Amino acid sequence: MGLSKLNSLYREVILDHSDHPHHKHALADSTSTITLKNPTCGDVINLDVKLDATDHIADIGFTGDGCTISQSSASMMTDAVMGKSKEEALHMAKTFSDMVMGKEHPQADLDQLEDAAILSSIMQFPARIKCATLSWWALQRALMREEDQVTKED
Ligand code: ZN
């Protein structure tokens, strides 16, 4: 895995999420569903999002398989965005993808990511950045698709 290079506290949190992923289940009443694959690693994520009438994430769940980083990141992502508005969630996805590419962000933005902020350490492993961002890309697409449906655009 090469994860031994990570700070041991970070490693523990990452392994805890991958061993006991949060919100790892399909939703029966999702308003948007998306499947994304990371072919370089073999990670697959199926993401179900349920937006309420005020465009807040009322529920979110994922299924699929993949490496420790992809599973752990999906678990952290679902924790962080639960209850957030679509706009906030999209902002968080942008913060996350900027963060793993090494771009600076205000501390308040990083705090909002909760455990997912730990994955900034994944920058040390360029090959794993896609594993970490897969679930956030799925979130973005699921939320944007929601918009498409409303505006009837393709
Ligand atoms: Zn992976």
Rounded to the nearest whole angstrom, what is the distance from the C-alpha of residue 53 to the centroid of ligand 1? 34
- Please write the tens of the pLDDT for every residue from 64-92: 999 999 999 999 999 999 999 999 999 99
Predicted confidence at residue 154, as pLDDT, reads 42
**Pair type for strands 43-51 and 32-38:** antiparallel
Phi, psi torsion values for 62, nearest 5 degrees: -140, 155
Question: Which has the closest alpha carbon to 131: 58, 76, 89, 57?
Answer: 76
Question: Which has the closest alpha carbon to 49: 35, 30, 73, 63?
Answer: 30
Question: Which has the closest alpha carbon to 143: 101, 100, 94, 110?
Answer: 94
- What is this structure's pTM? 0.91
Predicted confidence at residue 152, as pLDDT, reads 44
Rounded to the nearest whole angstrom, what is the distance from the C-alpha of residue 129 to the centroid of ligand 1? 8
Q: 137, 90 in Cβ contact below 8 A?
A: no
Q: Which residues pair with 95 in a beta bridge?
A: none
Sorted by where each starts, the structural domains of the chain and their CATH numbers stand as 3-153 (3.90.1010.10)
The pLDDT confidence band at residue 122, using thresholds 50, 70 and 90, is confident
Percent of the chain, pLDDT > 70? 91
Rounded to the nearest whole angstrom, what is the distance from the C-alpha of residue 151 to the centroid of ligand 1? 34
Rounded to the nearest whole angstrom, what is the distance from the C-alpha of residue 69 to the centroid of ligand 1? 6
Rounded to the nearest whole angstrom, what is the distance from the C-alpha of residue 127 to the centroid of ligand 1? 9
Is residue 31 scored above 60 in pLDDT? yes
